[in-house]
Amino acid sequence: MTQKELSYFEDAIGHEANIIKIVSDMINKLTDDNLISFMNNELEKHNNLKSDLMNILGEKANG
């Protein structure tokens, strides 16, 4: 993996971490059960995506 590709992965993981924080903060402020449920689904999607990116990065690092 080139340095540029590594940088893209780091950026993507950072963006996902940012989204996760924003969505988590938003969930704590919501009162509507439907919105909370929707946002929890979005939170799960972004947690999974971040995990997937980190796994791919780990695989590349381990050869």
In a domain, 25, yes or no: no
Q: Which helix (H) or strand (E) holds 36?
A: helix 33-61
Cα 44 from Cα 28, distance rounded (Å) = 15
Segments forming the whole domain that contains residue 51: 31-57
Per-residue model confidence as pLDDT tens for the chain (63 residues): 788 988 898 999 999 999 999 999 999 999 999 999 999 999 999 999 999 999 998 887 776
Six-digit token string for 5: 């590709």
At 3 the pLDDT is 85
In a domain, 53, yes or no: yes
At 61 the pLDDT is 75
At 63 the pLDDT is 66
In a domain, 17, yes or no: no
| Whole-prediction pTM | 0.88
In a domain, 50, yes or no: yes
Cα 6 from Cα 61, distance rounded (Å) = 10
Count of domains forming the chain: 1
Cα 40 from Cα 46, distance rounded (Å) = 10
Six-digit token string for 4: 């540029």
In a domain, 22, yes or no: no
Say how far residue 12 (Cα) sits from the centre of its chain: 8
At 57 the pLDDT is 87
